[in-house]
Amino acid sequence: MKIGAPTETVKGESRVAMTPDSAVHLQKLGHECFIEGGAGKSAGFSDAAYEAVGVTIVSSRAELFSGVDIVVKVRPPDAKELRQFSQGQTLISFFYPAANESLMQKAAAAGVTTVAMDMVPRISRAQKMDALSSMANIAGYRAIIEAGNNFGRFFTGQVTAAGKVQPAKVLVIGAGVAGLAAIGTATSLGAITLAFDVRPEVAEQIESMGAEFVFLEFEEEQQDGASTGGYAAPSSPEFREKQLEKFRELAPEVDIVITTALIPNQDAPVLWTKDMVAAMQPGSVIVDLAAERGGNCELTEEDKKIVTDNDVTIIGYTDFPSRMATQASSLFATNIRHVIADLTPNKDGTIVHNMEDDVIRGATVTHAKEITFPPPPPKVSAIAAQPKAALARELSPAEKREQEAAAFRAQTFKQVALLASGAILVLAAGLVAPASFMQHFIVFVLSVFVGLQVIWNVAHSLHTPLMAVTNAISSIIILGALIQIGSSSVLISILAAAGVLMAAINIFGGFLVTRRMLAMFQKS
Amino acid sequence: MELGFTIAAYVVAAVLFVLALGGLSNQESAKRAIWYGIVGMLIAVLATMIGPGSGLWWVSLILIVIGAAIGHQLATRVQMTQMPELVAIMHSLVGLAAVFVGFNADIELGRVTAEFHAQGLPFPRPEDVTVEGAAFAKTFSGFAAILAKKTAVEVNILRIELVLGIWIGAVTFTGSVIAYGKLAGKVSSAAKQLPGGHILNAAAAIGSLAMAGLYLSGAEVWTLVLLTLLALFIGYHLIMRIGGADMPVVVSMLNSYSGWAAAAIGFSLGNDLLIVVGALVGSSGAILSYIMCRAMNRSFVSVILGGFGGTSGPQASIDGQQVAIDADGVAAALNDADNVVIVPGYGMAVAQAQQSVSELTRKLRNSGKDVRFAIHPVAGRLPGHMNVLLAEAKVPYDIVLEMDEINDDFPETDVVIVIGSNDIVNPAAQDDPNSPIAGMPVLEVWKAKQVFVSKRGQGAGYSGIENPLFFKENTRMFFGDAKESLDKLLPIIN
């Protein structure tokens, strides 16, 4: 099959859907690759680079559209562009079918098979095709870089000869792919990073990236993120209030805020209100990655950078991936090439559009003159549902304290009972036994007690040396033999002498072998 | 004889012994702590020789020197794989010494009684002691001097303590000798018992009680001899019944007994240092036994009385087959892996493979892989046995981890190599409620991406329990002697 990539027509779009690298892989699958002259230029790929790997350069756009079977693109086509397609052709690009209903109908009418890169289902097998994630990753990284560009201080704290520098404090709202990428970038630049998400199960991921999870004390059955394909679901008004309260508290202390909160097919929730912006320190920066959907910050203006009266910069760019066109293109082109690889199961250059396949079915929005959107739910659930038991474990602090107190009481009771019964036994013994015995007895009991306390702390790995050394010191029985050896009875002397000899072997053998063993334990 | 000085020295020695044990909480402080123990022992022996044990100095000295020579030989010659044997045989010496000292105390008691009676004086000392009696008591020296002052109640208590000391000492002696024999392969390590089983033990125990009763009510020394013989039998028969894999519990139990024997003798001699040390050793052994039993999810009684705990049905049968692999396959997987966990067991000790394991570890670590060791508490035949072997082979101790530390990491592990262990990696302990080891905590190696099991051949291990791990899809069997297999592997690891 012939695969072609045209130049992107949207203004300011620098990405391209095919790179020399992805073309090599496509050719290995048995396809021929075409590219419109200069299409890769703004992404840093020259025509020569394409030619070098055997891609045919096509001079005009019309020629490209008429000559290939599959068109790969980044942005959705506009109506004009769509007219250039002919029946039986395949389009692979972002499409946003929910928002582009009429376009989808036109594509279906024209008999174009459309594979929407934004509709690839979120299952493990399809991760390599998940272009939304690769773009979000870039956006998260770039958001921090943009913020740094507009922020007048270091990210990392330093103590220099010229004085002490406080580290920047970054708050990331929404820990999806973009949020996590932002967290990773911010922490690696040395900033103190806080992160918030409505899905409590991502706390672990946030902490693994080195940020601190902003914990919200709120008792509500959280909706399981797994049921929405790993995306956040809208939260209740009470929860939202609680959340805003927390942000209000944080606003004066954070220097940089990155908001990435999106809910599928809805306007972005407003999470950073005017009064929060007003409460921020002058020089602070807000980067709103949800600007395209209205923005998480109340003051965000799409595609613009504004500076408020109190000198807070709010960045509402929507083209972060395009600002890193080389990186974005190579990731996007790789995603596309994986989709094509799935469409070419026999690696022989023939496309098999298998509508039984979960991934292909999910991503295809028009096929054989019909609209195939929305897809049925995938047969494989994206993320394993959170076991409900895990939720039950999360007790409120009060309950936890209650439980701990109960455990403590039970322990105290057990200990007191043991002590009491022990004391009664000792007292009973004291009633009949003479004082001379009891004197020794107290020594015995205390020694057992000390022994128990001390031995519990012995490292597991040192149990063998412990046995050898206790062996050596249990030869203290030599004292008994030494005391008796001087007896005037010959029999006693002989038995005692045997005792001394055996104990002496043990003392020396035990200590020496312990020393030998301990000397072997070495740190790396 | 300055008793005050002796007791002061004992106090110092006791403190040093406690520090010696406490220092074992980590590897570095342990190296210092051992000196505390040595100095404590030196002080105790010297103080006793100067003080209460002043007779026959030269004999004591000569014997100690001979003992030192033998002990030195033993300690320097022993292979680290033979540590369990050495520890066991040393326990037996303590047990026997306790028996001798106990008998001596009885003989001395008889002698003192005879001398009092020869003088026409009453013994044990009556409440209204006469001036002559008190004066005559002063003519005794050493241990006899302590005995001469005892009243009737005190003499009785002394006898109880004697009986206890001798009985425990005798059980420890034969028990340790048998344990030694089993560990050294001189006695078959399979669980064996005489016809009659527990009834024999019970009869011997009842017999011991009867003898003790007779002795306490004033019978002659033959009761004590008979009691000793019965105790020796119990020690022999008890340990004969216990199989090889339960040896960690047995050895720690004998360790504990040798301490209690010393403590009991300390009571009868009125020597506080003996009591202190005996109690320390006794409790140490008890804790070790407890830890070992917990690691096998079995009660102490069920281990000691032999046989596995009750099972309620047939074991789940295993489908599938074991898939063998050669050295090249293992090497390829190791070369690809980023993190590797090695699970050593008794089989590594038997094959003396620890040096090869260490060499493998060094090579893998040099090529930037994360290599760690997972040690089950009852791996080997002695608590901490594997740690000592790995330390001997110069494996750094900070990559040798306990079960609890590493069990959660298996799902992220690329390759697990199981060397000569079986039950401690058996998934049946978790999956099959009818398995004899159901509920025993095990290393969850099967959760790793790939598992290689180095094993001498097919067939179940010591306990005869089938191991479903060997049949899992991600498990490959690397048959052959552990050392030879690893040596074949070494040159092809890059």
∠B231-B233-B236 over CA atoms, to 5°?
A: 110
CB contact under 8 A, B30 and A477: no
Catalytic pick from B423, B431, B481, B487?
Answer: B423
Phi, psi dihedrals of residue B127, rounded to the nearest 5°: -60, -45
The pLDDT of A173-183, averaged and rounded, is 90
The helices-and-strands tally (H runs, E runs) of chain B is 19, 6
CB contact under 8 Å between A507 and B31, yes or no, is: no
Interface probe with B: pick from A437, A466, A473, most Cβ of B within 10 Å: A473
Residue A350 burial (CB count, 10 A): 13
| pLDDT at residue A347 is higher than 60 | yes
CB contact under 8 A, A451 and B91: no
B483, B457, B488, B453: which is closest to B471 by C-alpha?
B453
Q: What tens digit of pLDDT does each residue of B423-451 get? A: 888 888 888 777 777 778 888 888 888 88
Measured distance CA(A162)–CA(A154) in Å, rounded:
14
Question: Which residue has better confidence, B219 or B483?
Answer: B483
Q: Is the peptide bond before A121 cis (omega within 30 degrees of 0)?
A: no
C-alpha A386/C-alpha B308 separation (Å) is 39
Other C-beta atoms lying within 10 Å of the C-beta of residue B272: 20
Residues 6+ positions from A307 with CB-CB distance below 8 Å: A313, A314
Q: Residues of chain A with pLDDT > 90: what percent?
A: 30
Minimum Cα–Cα distance from B74: chain A residue: A509
Give the Cα separation of A307 and B468 in Å (integer): 67
A492 touches chain B (CB under 8 A): yes
Question: Pairing mode, if any, of strands A285-288 and A256-259?
Answer: parallel
Mean of per-residue pLDDT scores for chain B? 82
| Stretch among A106-120, A334-348, B43-57, B267-281 having the lowest mean pLDDT | B43-57
* DSSP 8-state secondary structure symbol assigned to residue A524: -
B56 vs A contacts (CB less than 8 Å)? 485-486, 493
What is the C-alpha to C-alpha distance for residues B263 and B274, in angstroms, rounded to an integer? 6
DSSP string, B170-214: HHHHHHHHHHHHHHTTSS--S----TTTHHHHHHHHHHHHHHHHH
In the block, tokens 């998934």 appear at B427
Residue of A nearest to B267 (CA): A440
Which residues in chain A are closer than 8 Å to B26, comparing Cβ atoms? 459, 462
Show residues of chain B in contact with A454, CB under 8 Å: 18, 21-22, 280
CA A265 to chain centre: 24
Interface test with B, best of A208, A431, A484, A494 (most B CBs within 10 A): A484
Residue among B103, B272, B282 whose CB faces A443 most closely: B272
* Partner A contacted by B71 (CB < 8 A): yes
Compute the distance between CA of residue A403 and CA of residue A399 in angstroms, rounded to an integer.
6
- Interchain proximity B277–A473, CB inside 8 Å: yes
Minimum-distance CB partner of A493 among B56, B67, B97: B56
The H-or-E segment that residue A257 falls in is strand A256-259
Q: Terminal CA-to-CA distance of chain B, rounded, Å?
A: 71
Has residue B128 got a pLDDT over 80?
no
Q: What is the pLDDT of residue A388?
A: 40
Cβ–Cβ under 8 Å, residues A136 and A180? no
CA distance B397 to chain A (A): 6
pLDDT at A389: 39
Q: pLDDT digit string (tens) for B335-345?
A: 888 889 999 98
Type of residue numbered B440: M
The whole-number average pLDDT for the span A437-459 is: 86
- Select from A436, A450, A476, A491 the residue whose CB has the most chain B CBs within 10 Å, as the one to mutate to test that interface: A476
Which stretch of DSSP H or E encloses residue A192? strand A192-196
pLDDT of residue B320: 67
β partners of residue A164: A159
In this model, does residue A227 exceed pLDDT 70? Answer: no
Euclidean distance between CA atoms A179 and A139, whole angstroms: 9
Q: Are B36 and B19 within 8 A, CB to CB?
A: yes
**Residue B48: which of A482, A488, A513 has the nearest Cβ?**
A482
Which token pair is A337?
């090439």
Q: Which residues on B lie below 8 Å from A479 (Cβ)?
A: 44-45, 48, 53, 269, 271, 273-274
For residue A372, the model assigns a pLDDT of: 87
- DSSP states of B65-111 as a string? HHHHHHHHHHHHH--GGGHHHHHHHHHHHHHHHHHHHHHHHHHHHHH
The burial of B140, by beta-carbon neighbours within 10 Å (0-12 exposed, 13-18 middle, 19 or more buried), is given as buried
| Interface check B118 vs A, CB under 8 A | no
Q: Is A416 in the B-facing interface, judged by CB distances under 8 Å?
A: no
pLDDT greater than 80 at residue A385: no
> Which among B34, B52, B262 has CB closest to A515?
B34
**C-alpha pair distances (Å), B486 with each of A460, A483, B400, B491:** 27, 55, 19, 9
Note whether A208 contacts B: Cβ–Cβ < 8 A. Answer: no
Q: How far is A519 from chain B (nearest CA, A)?
A: 7
Question: What is the length of chain A?
Answer: 524
E strand or H helix that includes residue A36? strand A32-36
Q: What is the DSSP letter of A223?
A: P
Secondary structure (H, E, C), A263-312: CCCCCCCCCECHHHHHHCCCCCEEEECCHHHCCCECCCCCCCEEECCCCC
Task: Mark which residues 273-302 of A lie under 8 Å from B by CB.
Answer: none
Which residues, other chains included, contact B452 with Cβ-Cβ below 8 Å and sequence gap of 6+?
A: B325, B330, B333, B415, B416, B417, B418, B475, B476, B477, B478
The complex's ipTM works out to 0.78
CA A294 to chain centre: 27
Q: Does A523 touch chain B if contact means CB atoms closer than 8 Å? A: yes
User: Testing the interface with A: which of B7, B11, B27 to mutate, by most A Cβ within 10 A?
Assistant: B27
Of residues A418 and B189, more confidence is placed in A418
Chain B interface includes A479 (CB < 8 A): yes
**B285 has a chain A CB within 8 A of its CB:** yes
The predicted-structure confidence for A388-428, as pLDDT tens digits, reads as follows 434 444 566 777 788 888 888 888 898 899 889 988 888 88
Point out the least confidently predicted range of A44-48, A353-357, B139-143.
B139-143
Q: Which residues of A touch B355 (CB under 8 A)?
A: none
Chain A nearest CA to B313, separation (Å): 30
- Pairwise CA distance, residues A15 & A40, whole Å: 7
CB B440 within 8 A of CB B298: yes
A490 Cα to chain B: minimum distance (Å): 11
Chain A nearest C-alpha distance from B209 (Å): 20
How many angstroms separate the CA of residue B414 from the nearest CA in chain A? 19
Residues 6+ positions from A462 with CB-CB distance below 8 Å: A518, A521, B24, B25, B26, B27, B30, B384, B387
Of B405 and A20, more confident: A20
- Give per-residue pLDDT as tens, B458-476: 665 555 677 888 888 888 8
CB-CB contact of A294 with A318 (8 Å): no
User: What is the rounded CA–CA span in Å between residue B370 and residue B378?
Assistant: 25
Search chain A and give the residue with CA nearest B387: A461
- Return d(Cα A359, Cα A130) in angstroms, integer: 10
The span from the CA of B246 to the CA of B440, in Å, is 13
Between CA A198 and CA A150 the distance in angstroms is 28
pLDDT over 90, % of chain B: 11
Run of H or E including B450? strand B450-455
The identity of residue A89, as a single letter, is Q
Structure token pair of residue A329:
């293109």
- The CA R_g of chain B, rounded to the nearest whole Å, is 27
Comparing CA positions, the residue from B176, B81, B180 lying closest to residue B385 is B81
The residue-averaged pLDDT of A232-260 equals: 85
What per-residue confidence (pLDDT) applies to A150?
Answer: 93
In A, minimum Cα distance to B11 occurs at A443
**What is the structure's pLDDT at B462?**
52
| pLDDT over 90 (residue A169) | yes
| A473 to B281: CB separation less than 8 angstroms, yes or no | yes
Q: What is the reported pLDDT for A392?
A: 44
Average pLDDT over residues A276-303: 91
Average pLDDT for chain A: 85
Which tokens go with B490? 């070494």
* Concatenated DSSP letters of B348-392: HHHTT-HHHHHHHHHHHHHTT-EEEEEE-TT-SSSTTHHHHHHHH
**Nearest-neighbour CA in chain A from B291: distance (Å):** 10
Q: Are A466 and B24 in contact (CB under 8 A)?
A: yes
Residues of B with Cβ-Cβ distance to A452 under 8 angstroms: 283, 287
| Other CB atoms within 10 A of residue B313 CB | 8
Residues A316-327 pLDDT 10s: 998 899 999 999
pLDDT at A252: 92
d(CA B337, CA B449): 10
Residue A386 token pair: 């959170």
Residues B226-273: tens digit of each pLDDT: 899 999 998 888 888 776 667 788 888 888 988 998 898 888 888 888
Query: Does position B204 have pLDDT exceeding 70, yes or no?
Result: yes
